[in-house]
Structure 1
Amino acid sequence: MSSPPVAPAPRRPLILLRATATATAALALGQTVLAGSFLNGHYESLAPHEAGAMALAAAVLVHLVVAALVGRSGRGPRRPLVTAALLTSGVILQIGFGYDRALGLHVVLGALLLSGTLSAAAGAWRLPLPARSPVPEAPDGPDGLDGPDGPDGPDGAGLLPRPGGPVEVAP
């Protein structure tokens, strides 16, 4: 006996999941550029690296909330929530390692976080979006551009709307 079909997850939270996962991955990629600059001897890039870490922490927290919204309905996948929770804890650890100057752990965890954020973004973009719900057609207005009175209706078939009035188009 098969179970009844389950409705797909809501569309908007999945779109937000894509946006937050992409933003998180972009911030993580930017962090690697700043870290590389610092390791190359440009010590002034440490302050933007620290600010980027705070922005990344905020982004993974927002991503965690959005992933919880996706899974909350019971219809969305739970994997993004687990991934977002792991990324959040990883970023918190990463910030701690950075302030403790544990560079060996900081660099290795940074590489893992970059691959994790890229994987989360790819996973978010692989989730299929449900079809948009159909929008009901608006009733005809006095301009006669839509519905039975316009070019789509029986009495206006083959006519294109023009500023001076409809123009007949040969089939």
Structure 2
Amino acid sequence: MDTLVPPVARVRSPRASLWALRIVTLVFVLAVLAQPVLAGLFLTGDIDAITAHGLVGELLALGALVLIGVALAYVLGGRGRIWILPVSVLLFLAVGFQIAAGFARQLELHVPLGVVIVTTSVLLAGWAWSPLAARPRGTK
């Protein structure tokens, strides 16, 4: 006679939403890392680099909006970590302030805020590609 074995509850973990988060954070961090390079080129005499710096900055605002959407899918649909969503929103706001400070030539705000954006973006992308990101909410 067969023994009755209770069904094992299937733990839903983020899959498609995690890959979307990984790809978006990778593209975002690459654009973020281009910014200090472009600023450095401008400071060394390449006048056209400041135009590219401004354009990439504006594209980062769009990228941060995409990041918020993907983070929302990761949190709600993929059962991913909740803290990703507020971090994404804060990155979007920081990029907005960064753009405003850059166009206003307020370098005393623009440079340190740029360091914060770069650091946060690198840490977020690094975490998204780590095994921890694949674990569903509620597991350690």
TM-score category by the smaller chain?
0.7 to 0.9
| 1:88 aligned counterpart, secondary structure | helix
Where in structure 2 are there 5+ consecutive unaligned residues?
A: 1-7
1:9/1:70 contact within 8 Å kept = no
2:57 to 53, 62, 66: 53
Shift of residue 9, structure 1, vs aligned partner: 3.0
1:80 to 84, 93, 96: 84
CA distance in 1, matches of 2:124, 2:34: 16
| 2:134 aligned counterpart, secondary structure | coil
Regions of 4+ moved over 6 Å: none
- TM-score, reference length from structure 1: 0.69
Per the alignment, residue 74 of structure 2 pairs with 70
1:38 to 32, 36, 42: 42
Which has the larger share of helix? 2
- The alignment-based identity, stated in percent, is 33
Aligned residue pairs total 127
1:16 to 14, 20, 29: 20
* Paired residue type of 1:45: A
Q: Which has the larger radius of gyration?
A: 1
Shift of residue 120, structure 1, vs aligned partner: 0.7
Where in structure 1 are there 5+ consecutive unaligned residues?
A: 131-171
CA distance in 2, matches of 1:84, 1:39: 30
Per the alignment, residue 32 of structure 2 pairs with 28
* Paired residue type of 2:25: A
| 1:81 aligned counterpart, secondary structure | helix
1:100 to 97, 104, 118: 104
CA distance in 2, matches of 1:128, 1:74: 10
* Higher-RCO chain (CA-CA 8 Å, sequence separation at least 6): 2
* Paired residue type of 1:104: E
- Identify if the C-alpha distance between structure 1 residues 69 and 41 changes in structure 2 by more than 3 Å, giving closer, same or farther: same
* Paired residue type of 1:128: A
Cα RMSD, aligned residues only: 2.0
- Identify if the C-alpha distance between structure 1 residues 122 and 45 changes in structure 2 by more than 3 Å, giving closer, same or farther: same
- Identify if the C-alpha distance between structure 1 residues 74 and 27 changes in structure 2 by more than 3 Å, giving closer, same or farther: closer
- Identify if the C-alpha distance between structure 1 residues 74 and 44 changes in structure 2 by more than 3 Å, giving closer, same or farther: closer
